[in-house]
Structure 1
Amino acid sequence: MTEQKPQLPALKGIFFVTGTDTEVGKTWVSCRLLERAQEAGLSCYGLKPVAAGCEETAEGWRNDDALQLMAASSVKLPYDTVNPVAFKAPIAPHIAAQQEGKVISLARLVGYVRGALSAHPADLILIEGAGGWRVPLNDREMLSALAKELELPVIQVVGMKLGCISHALLTAEAIQKDGLRYAGTMANCFGHMEVQEENLLTLRQHLPGAFAIL
C-alpha cells in the first residue's frame, strides 16, 4: 500500500514557526509547507534567523535546518540571508553565543529579517525559531520577541509524544498573551505514541486556529 502524503494547506502570508520543544520537527514541517506552496504555484522561502549547531565548510558555518529550508524554497537566497546568526555548538543559542564571546541582539535580528522581507517578497515566508517559544537570546531578550516585534502570526509544531498536551497548551497560551495571533497547529506524528488518536483529539479540542496532522 502506498503511503499518502498529508493534505496540507497551501498557505499565503508570513508566519513564525515555533514548537513545543527542540527536535519536534519544526524544520521538517516548514519544508513540507514550502513544498506544498510550490505545488500550488506560489513563491516561497524560509528563514532561520538563529541557528546553533553548525558544521564548518569552505563557505563558512552551515546549519542543516537552514540548508533544508533553502532546498525547499522556490526563492533562492544567499545562506547569510537565510541564517544570519549561526553558532557551532548544538546548544541553547544564548549559551552558544556566550561560549563564542558574542551577544545576540534582538534589534539586529529584527533588522536582518525586515531587510530580507523587504528585499525578497513572496507568497509564503516562514520564519523558523529555535527550540520552543521561550528561548533566551541574551540576559534580557527572548527569541519570541522577534515574532512580537514583527507582529507575525504563529504556527506551532507539536511533537506527538508523552507530555505534548501540556507543552502545546502552555505554548499557545503564551503566544496569545504576547498579543500574537495563533494561526494553527501542525501535529507531527514522528514515532509511536500510546493513545495517539486520543491525544490528537484533545489537542484539536483545546487549541485555536487550524489543525493539521502529519
Structure 2
Amino acid sequence: MNVLLITGTDTGTGKTILTCALAAYWQTYRPQESLGIFKPIQTGVGDCELYQQLFDLNQTPEEITPLRFQTPVAPPVAAEREGRIVDLSLVWQGFNHLRQQRQWVLVEALGGLGSPITNELTVADLARDWRLPVVLVVSVRLGAIAQTVANVALAGSCGVQLKGIVLNCVQPCSQEDMANWAPIDLIESLTNVPVLGVLPYLADTTDVSKLAQVASDLDLELLIPR
C-alpha cells in the first residue's frame, strides 16, 4: 500500500485539482490498481462531494471524510464554534481502514502545510506523525517563489518527506508569466526539491479525460513509481 499527501502553499492553490488529476490518471491508465481518496477533515461543503461526483471510488462519504464541520474555517475554530472537538483518533481510524483496503491512497490536506489541524498541530505535524510522503502544490502568481521557499523550509524543520513540487496555473498563464512568477530552475535551486511539472489553467476542472491527460504530463515516477 502506498500513500501520498497532497498539500499546498496556501488555501486555493490547487490541491483538489491535483488530487482529481491523479485520480483521473489512475482511473484511465492504472485501473487494475485499487485507489482510495481521503480528505481527513472537511469544513463546509466541497471536496468530498466532488470526488464522489467524478470518480467511482466505492467509498461512502464517511470513508472519504470521517470528520466534518459545517463552518468553513480552520478545524479548531470550527470545532470551537460548533461546541465540538477535532477528534483525530476518528480520523486515524478512518485512514487506517482505507489504507488496508486499497493499493494506493491519495490524502488531500486541509489548507497548506502550516494550516492548523488542532490548537497544537498543523498539517506538517500530521504528515510527519503519520509518515506521509508529500507533494506541494504551488499556485503560479506573484509571490510564488517566497511561498514555496517558506513551505519547503517548514517541511524540513518538521521532518516532512517532500517528494516534489507541482506548479498550478490558477489563471491563464503565458510563458512570460511562468518565467517571471515561478521560474522552475530558481525554485529548484533555492529549495533542492524537484519541480515535477506544471498543471495548466483548466476552464473545466471536472473534465476527467483532460485531468488524466494533464496528470500524465507530470513527472509521476517520483510520486507513483510502478
Q: How many residues align structurally?
A: 192
Kindly report structure 1 stretches of 4+ aligned residues shifted beyond 6 Å.
none
Shift of the alpha carbon at 1:113? 1.2
User: TM-score, normalising length from structure 2?
Assistant: 0.77
Q: Alpha-carbon deviation of 1:49?
A: 0.7
CA distance in structure 1 between the partners assigned to 2:54 and 2:34 by the alignment = 11
Helix, strand or coil at the partner of 1:22:
coil
How far apart are residue 53 of structure 1 and its match?
A: 1.4
**CA deviation after TM superposition for structure 1 residue 206, in Å:** 3.1
Q: Which string of whole-angstrom CA distances, capped at 9 and with x for unpartnered residues, describes residues 64-116 of structure 1?
A: 21122334545321110101111112211211111101111334322321222
1:53 to 44, 65, 79: 44
Counterpart in the other structure of 1:142 = 122
Structure 2 residue 139 is the aligned partner of structure 1 residue 159: yes
Quick one: distance in 1 between partners of 2:183 and 2:58? 35
Equivalent residues in 2 for 1:179-190, closer than 5 Å: 179-190=159-170
- Structure 1 position 190, deviation (Å): 1.7
Uncovered stretches (5+) of structure 1, i.e. residues with no partner:
1-11, 55-63
Q: Secondary structure at the match of 1:135?
A: coil
Alignment correspondent of 1:91: 73
1:44 corresponds to which residue? 35
Match of 1:203 in 2: 187
Match of 1:65 in 2: 47
> SS of 2:16's equivalent?
helix
Q: Deviations over 1:137-180 (max 9, x none)?
A: 22222233222222011011111111121111111121122222
**2:40/2:109 contact within 8 Å kept:** yes
The one of 121, 124, 131 aligned to 2:102? 121
CA 1:79/1:153 → structure 2, altered by over 3 Å: closer, same or farther? same
State the AA in 2 paired with 1:109. Answer: V
- Identity among equivalent pairs (%): 24
State the superposition RMSD in angstroms.
2.0
SS of residue matched to 1:30: helix
CA contact (8 A) 1:110 1:146 kept: no
- Distance in 1 between residues matched to 2:138 and 2:28, nearest whole Å: 24
1:172 aligned onto 2:172: no
Asked whether the 8 Å contact 2:66–2:90 carries over to 1, the reply is no
Deviation, structure 1 residue 192: 4.4
Equivalent residue for 2:12? 23
